[in-house]
Structure 1
Amino acid sequence: MRTFALPLAAILGALCLTKLANAQGSMSSTDSTVTPADSLITAILATNQTEGVPDDAWPAQPVDATEVATNTSSVIARRAMINKGNIALQRRAPTPVGSATSPSGTAYQIISDGQDASNQYATAAVQMPAYLTYTVVTNATDASGNWNFAAARDACLKFCDRTPSCVTANLYKEYNNPLLDYTFSEKSNAKCALFGDVPELDQITNKGGQQLKKAPEPLTRIDSASVFTVPSRLDANPTVPGYTQTYGPINAANNDPGYMTYKLLTKNDPVACSKICDQTSGCVAFNTWRGVVNGDPRTYTCSLYRNYIDASTAKNFGDDVNKVKVTYSRGYVKSAVAAVQQCEVNNGMQGFKWEYYYRPNEVTKPDACPYDRDIVDLGDPSTAQTTGTAIGQRFEPYAGGSTFRPYGTNQDLESSLFTMLHTFYFKAPADGAYKFQLANVDDVARVWYGDVAKSGWRTTDADQTGRCAAPAAGDKVVTMKSGDYLPIRIAWTDGLPPGSFLFRVFSPAGQDMGISQFVRGSCDGSVAPFGSA
């Protein structure tokens, strides 16, 4: 297993920076109460998966399986510090300086040309996350003693083309390494190292500096180093057996309330993440993404979720203070769960139904709150619509007049003497106790749960009632099994504007779930929509 670490001072500095970011509220996530962005940023800052070809590695070895990254090794950090040498670091993305075509026809960008005598990076090899493997290629020379670079380059790019997940090939000569000089059968000091990501210029840092031969023999050194890359390979979406991809790649991590836990991986590998999900009880979806710190790829995150996820809840873009960015983020859902969800979408089952009743002749306009009327015999609604927007908010008169437009409708509705009914099911994404909260009510709101919400409901037997100028209605807790449908009806009345109510659902872990699990019925028709009846 590979292990990675930063010096203690760097870890402490990262933690202090994260505290500063949290204090200033700089997290780019829209809701820090769901997927714990703070702890993810801390973990990314405190890990360093930088590596290159190990000194004692034999060439042409199979690529290591993706692993969970840990922070227990001092070797990687020590080597990274030694190998910095005196190279001039530049904090900028690499600009291609040329192109090369592999024997199989793949077009590579050259971001560092080892044949350019003026190239300051020609004396350093790549050190970055997602190291895959390496091989030894020819160091044969022509009659004039010049390295046959073209033959070595073609062999290196061919090696990358046939190695799964290869994005970057780093070709260079390493001097004073006894394994290359005496042990390996190739008797060549030309190395071709492969990586599954694209390096920044300040990740071309390994200048050698190891005493691999007995002193006073010279230290190792790097020369004629070139970097070839195919960035478009990062855009490829891997097929994950048993899962359906729901979004990506995008530059935002998921913030869904169904978050369970996360792991840092040695590569951005959705297949490896799916295996972790399969081994985690209750997991049905996952989000993989690359964490970039100060422009450099740093690590790869695998976050697990207990329910369906898509791009609508991918709202975490990183941390501006600590300069952490989310890149190449993808979401996957177990195919059986995704099929049900997609069926509900295709059949218009997501969201809730709302009905508006205007009652101008019932009473004269009240001059005080609450406006509390019997809401059973309402007659026919003035309008009835379905929506997938947030349920419950503060409604002000539209455009300063006597009307308002709830839930994004373009229809002007009277903002006084009205009643609105909301009907839907809450579909439990996992086993557990869910809390339903009614708050911020003006004038009156009532909620019914279970079969009575569909028929037989009365003003006097609501499970929750909230009134203006009164304590908030008590929370309702319902224990449910995964896949259960709970009928819910909300009735809201208001005499004079402004009016409001807030209805929220909290997961068994205490996270606000939004309306992601609100549906009007089931896809197979076994759970039918209901309305004012």
Structure 2
Amino acid sequence: MKYSLTSLAPVAVFVGTVAGAPMVNGNCKVVADTSGAVVPGNGSFEAYTDPSGPLLQAAKQASAPAGYKTLFSKDIGASRQSGYLTYRLLDGPTYDVEQCAAHCNSHADCQSFNIFFERDPKFDHDANPGCEDMTPVTNVKCALFSEDLLTNKANNDKQYDGPNNTGFVNVQVGSSGYVKVSELESRPVSHYKGALQNYGSATELGNKAIKDDASYITYKSLNDPTFAVAECAKACTQQQGCVFFNTYTLLANGVSQGPKCALFNQASDASKAVNEGYGHLGDSYTIENSVSYALEQ
């Protein structure tokens, strides 16, 4: 959904230079590309980071687009972490999560995205040597990542274009992170019935995995999250003595490590779903999208 700033309460729109900043001079000629979003208040750093201002209010109205779930929503701070692919300057002044999702969907490696407002200089200072004009513009930016975003890595909040923290101040506000919903999570379990002809109905286990040492056989890492259930069912069928399996997504510090498949020689019910993850060498491993099937006798 698009969130237009013009639909919010009226605000004083900045049209000149920030108080105390030099006016446009002869060296300021090349105007940078911009989304054209509203400049809040007097265009200062404080106006951009005002929780009651139009930018943060627009971001707070946003919701996850189709096929995605929300990972975080922050007043200040864009994502800065591994898996970064590229960014897009959104076309138009609105906080358009669908447009950002479309960019992610069109990139073969994109798993998640971060959308935010950014305070940028009107004039491209790299293309305008000697330009001292500090007039701000507001861009809506969309950063794409090949990994799940981590909330604690959304800490890229301020930059200066001059040495020793001088010059124009960039700031990222209204930052939201979204990740693609896994195939197992987005489709009903009935979608896999064709591959599970010899198995009974699914038992949804949420964020817990089966723990039954007495009947445990082995586990496998699966290749394709899209067909995790069917692939695990096939592994169970091919494993001597297997009559029950549990497939789930393993996460390390919130980042998906892919689907896993645990095989058992006895069926268990949800009361055995007590494995919520573990810690190892300072890393936290957790579970999501857990589901189990038993072979019909």
Q: What TM-score range do you get, normalising by the shorter chain?
A: 0.3 to 0.5
The structure with the largest alpha-carbon Rg is: 1
TM-score by length of 2: 0.44
Query: Which one has more relative contact order, counting CA pairs under 8 Å at least 6 apart?
Result: 2
| Greater strand share, structure number | 2
TM-score by length of 1: 0.27
